[in-house]
Amino acid sequence: MRARDINYDTGFLPGEELSRKSFTPETVRHDMAVISGDLHCDAVRISGREPERLSIAARHAVEAGLEVWFAPFPVDLPRDQLLPYFADCAARAEAVREADADVVFVAGCEISAFCGGFLPGDTYGDRMRAMAAADMEWWSSLGPVQERLNDLLSQIAATVRTYFGGQVTTHRLPGSSSTGVRSTSSALMPTEPPTTPPASVTSCVDTSPTASPSR
């Protein structure tokens, strides 16, 4: 039974806003050792925008004895690039899984908010500001969003399963179910669903041996 888990950010915002500027295999190896040995976690959700960083972090997580939730996090990626992006990430996750590792593929995070084409706004920042200022009339006008989102999730699921043989899910932010535009995992879940995904908490990039996870 999983006892403790954590989110590990490899950098998820686009361009100069990338949330993690410095990323080296040596640092990642150290971080995973801290997550496993000092924080006593047994699972890690590895999230971020760049596929190669996800692969590096996943390999070091496995070496540290952790279950991996491989979580690509594209932000403002053009719609026509999403399926090729998830195909690449799925193949990378499968390469990790084939090394006799426990891997769950997380197909995006709150896609309706972080990717264009669902909510008003050209960038994720525009969409977040619109959501923060929205009233019930605004939310009520978004009825067709869920149908379009489910269609995209079905396409992503089919793409991921072409390359990845493990369990697949998606992630939505807490509280988003009340908006009517939440990401649903029904199109993605396997017959036997994975256990509850790791909680999203602060990255352990700067974790010291005496630090404890934010839960």
CB 53 within 8 A of CB 11: yes
User: Of 16-30, 155-169, 189-203, which range is least confident?
Assistant: 189-203
Residue 13, domain member (yes or no): yes
Residue 141, domain member (yes or no): yes
Give the C-alpha separation, 168 to 163, whole Å: 11
Classify the C-alpha dihedral 137-143-148-149 as positive or negative.
positive
Residue 14, domain member (yes or no): yes
Residue 128, domain member (yes or no): yes
pLDDT at 132 over 60: yes
pTM of the model: 0.77
Average pLDDT over residues 80-87: 94
Count of domains forming the chain? 1
Residue 185, domain member (yes or no): no
Average pLDDT over residues 192-205: 41
Residue 31, domain member (yes or no): yes
Q: How many CA atoms, within 13 angstroms, populate the side-chain half-sphere of residue 146?
A: 16
Please name the helix (run of DSSP H) or strand (run of DSSP E) that holds residue 201, with its range, or none: none
> What domain range includes position 59?
5-178
Residue 134, domain member (yes or no): yes
21: tokens are 């500027």
Give the pLDDT score at 162.
Answer: 96
pLDDT at 53 over 70: yes
